[in-house]
Amino acid sequence: MTFPGEVLSNDASTIGDALEHSARTARDKPVDQSDAAAIQAAEVRASGFAHSGGLTAVTQSAANLNARAMGVDNKIKLGEALADASKRLETDKAVTREDAEQVTEAEVRNNPDMLVHPGGVASSITAAARLNQDLSNFWCVTLYWCAYFVSYICMC
């Protein structure tokens, strides 16, 4: 069986890449429950489950500790929790629109303000999905024109 993320080009952005991007763009944001939920959704979308000791466990622990920590300086940041995310995922795959929808839904559902953090997990996954869709569209158009050109030459 082929999953949608496996059909995309080797140049496509993966879930791990997108998580590492959010680690860079929101590196100073303290991990909260909405981040942990979004990361769990991303890990499940990448590998089919959230394995013990994986990114989900790390970020859930960080969110729980941060809820009790006093002062922003004592909280675990997203940049720390998601460092080397692509290496810490059990398996990885190219990000699809469906992945972005699931991750965004998880982040919004677990945020009291029902918002997505700019540059955070859902934003990075969504941006990667859009890039992959653009890349996929580019190759579809390229293949169409190649087929058209070959058929034109064959008619000559």
Indicate the angle between helix axes 121-155 and 15-25, nearest 10 degrees.
Answer: 130
Extract long-range pairs of 70-73: CB within 8 Å, 24+ residues apart.
Answer: 72/30
Average pLDDT over the chain, rounded to an integer: 86
pTM of the model: 0.81
Neighbours of 16 (CB within 10 A): 24
Q: What is the pLDDT of residues 110-124, one digit of tens each?
A: 999 999 999 999 999
The three-state secondary structure class of 2 is coil
β-sheet bridge partners, residue 30? 77
Residue ranges in 29-116 assigned as alpha helix (H):
33-47, 55-68, 78-81, 85-88, 97-109
Provide the percentage of residues in the chain whose pLDDT is more than 70.
79
